[in-house]
Structure 1
Amino acid sequence: MTSLSSVTDVAHHLARLLGARPSGLFSDFDGTLSPVAPTPDSAEAAPGVSETLRQLASRVSLAGIVTGRGVDDVMRRVAVPDLLYVGNHGLEWFENNEHHVHPAGLEAEGGLPEALREIEHRLEAHVSLEGVIFENKRYSGSIHYRLTTEPGKTGDVLEPIVQEIASEYGFWVSDGKMVMELRPGASVNKGSAVRRIVTDRQLKSAVFLGDDVTDADAFVVLRELRQELGVQTCSVGVLTLDTDQRVIDNSDFLLDGVDDVVSMLLELVDLLPEVTDQEDPE
């Protein structure tokens, strides 16, 4: 997909697709439901998002947030209890007051602080740390450099340092919008999380919205599930100034930023009837 889609066209397509039940609607948070913020702590859900998600949760069999943030962090920002929350790119799950952590996440918890400290020490020898944010998300870590005076230079210096130290500690590295992530070596990502959700719940339809390269993992899996199991799926990419080409290439539709996402979800609320227990037996 390379061209922008209209909000109304996307909403109508998703409404038809989600008529196949059990149905699932899932979204990333940062850059999709929340404008990209200067720092992780300053991000907020866009106006109206929480209420819209609350209404959508009663119109699909399962609604959820799948994010790189920790579960506790994103739950505070979204504040909708009736959702599935998958955090740390699939390492954390929270639903019905039950919190589960992948074994790889528990193993990573001990070495992560030391790895981040070593990256910080090594980076400081080459560039200023002003504007660099080291984020320990307990089961994974992020190094943000959006606020540095020269993000391009900082990123170039940072990448080999992160790769080397990640290898020493058994972490896997992924990149995003002016951020590098340390994750456990296990093959856990948003794609594996979406596959688990769809297969465990035997969903007949599934939608994912996202804006960054980690969301493209989910887009790819949805296409695979469409081909392998006949699940009706749709991937909605969200364009920003620095959208990765992998997001564009693997999207079925493209929306222009968070405002378009919110508008589309509002239209979707009006198009979808509420799900009843008779329609969706658990």
Structure 2
Amino acid sequence: MALAPPEAQAALEPLLAEPGRSAVLCDIDGTLAPIVERPEEAHVSEEIARLLARLARRYRLVACISGRRASEARRLVGVGAIAYAGSHGAELLLPGAREPEVAAEFRSWEGRVHRFADSLPARELRLAQIRREDKGPIVAFHWRGARDERRALAMIEEIERRATAAGLAVHRGRKVLECRPPIEIGKHRAVRQLVTRFGFSRALFGGDDATDVDAFAELERLRADGHLEQVVRVAVRSDEAPPDLYRFADVVVEGIGGFASLLRRLAEG
């Protein structure tokens, strides 16, 4: 593991001591799967998938919390025995369930968000090498790999301006801009929903991006409110990670390999 072993052991000990009261929660892209130029090309290794399946047999809950749709997150990870919170907490796909539960207010915005995306100048997006990804009521615009990043960023800023004027919410991640319904969604919502639903008292969350900082903050609020006894916030180091990720983390691991080592330690018990 890419940190001092005593620090790692001390951080994980509360979960290892009482797995039946503990949850292992994590992001997918950049945490379980490498960041790739095109989201559809991402993959989770067989080793990590097997680790998650082992953890699901030992811990109260294992869940992936992602900006992807819940069904897409399950397809990518390939483990049916764990939960998936998709669309930044607006969807919840329970272990073994066929269809996700989707917040009605979130679903009602899908047409309006897509009409906004359709109104954008396709030629200018293409010239700036900005790719569109439809995620139900969320539309994402990716510029990873664009040859002229300055041109791509200028177009992204224009999309932000237009989306805000149209009454939509916007959020930037690692070389991606999301246009969303203007309702409260975020990984913090997913974390609180899972705590309420499954009743665990100890939780670990691992992530690598700005949206994961929201999950870190929610874990701390849940501990302060008495809903959780112990929390472990794991930052997965990368060149593009926001500084707040490390500032609020209890543990820092080196990339996906470091996080896999941490999962392996949890699985060994």
Q: Establish whether residue 57 from structure 1 lines up as the match of residue 51 from structure 2.
A: no
Match of 2:22 in 1: 23
Match of 2:71 in 1: 72
Structure-2 change in CA distance of 1:163 and 1:7 (3 Å): farther
Greater relative contact order (Cα < 8 A, sep 6+): 1
Matches within 5 A, 1:57-136: 57-95=56-94, 96-97=96-97, 98-121=99-122, 124=124, 128-130=127-129, 132-136=130-134
Q: 1:11·1:265 contact (CA, 8 Å) conserved in 2?
A: no
Q: Establish whether residue 34 from structure 1 lines up as the match of residue 28 from structure 2.
A: no
Look up the SS of the partner of 1:68 in the other structure: coil
CA–CA distance in 1 between the matches of 2:208 and 2:265? 20
Match of 1:276 in 2: none
C-alpha distance after superposition, 1:149-204 (max 9, x if no partner): 12244124312x22233224432111111111112111111011101211332221
5+ residue gaps, structure 1, are 272-282
Q: Structure 1 residue 112: deviation in Å?
A: 2.1
Matches within 5 A, 1:114-263: 114-121=115-122, 124=124, 128-130=127-129, 132-159=130-157, 161-229=158-226, 230-263=228-261
5+ residue gaps, structure 2, are none
TM-score (norm 1): 0.87
Match of 1:5 in 2: 3
Amino acid at match of 1:23: S
Q: Structure 1 residue 12: deviation in Å?
A: 5.5
CA–CA distance in 2 between the matches of 1:167 and 1:82? 39
| Cα root mean square deviation, aligned | 2.0
Match of 1:275 in 2: none
Give the number of equivalent residue pairs. 264
CA–CA distance in 2 between the matches of 1:31 and 1:101? 25
C-alpha distance after superposition, 1:210-233 (max 9, x if no partner): 000001100011111121215211
Amino acid at match of 2:164: S
Mean Cα displacement is larger for which, 35-44 or 102-111?
Answer: 102-111
Q: 1:18·1:24 contact (CA, 8 Å) conserved in 2?
A: no
CA–CA distance in 1 between the matches of 2:5 and 2:57? 21
Amino acid at match of 1:177: R
Identity among equivalent positions (%) equals: 27
CA–CA distance in 2 between the matches of 1:8 and 1:47? 28
C-alpha distance after superposition, 1:115-134 (max 9, x if no partner): 2223344x818x8233x210
TM-score (norm 2): 0.91
CA–CA distance in 2 between the matches of 1:18 and 1:119? 50
Q: 1:215·1:247 contact (CA, 8 Å) conserved in 2?
A: yes
CA–CA distance in 2 between the matches of 1:53 and 1:261? 12
Mean Cα displacement is larger for which, 8-17 or 95-104?
Answer: 8-17
CA–CA distance in 2 between the matches of 1:30 and 1:46? 12
Amino acid at match of 2:250: D
Mean Cα displacement is larger for which, 216-225 or 161-170?
Answer: 161-170
Structure-2 change in CA distance of 1:116 and 1:11 (3 Å): farther
Look up the SS of the partner of 1:119 in the other structure: coil
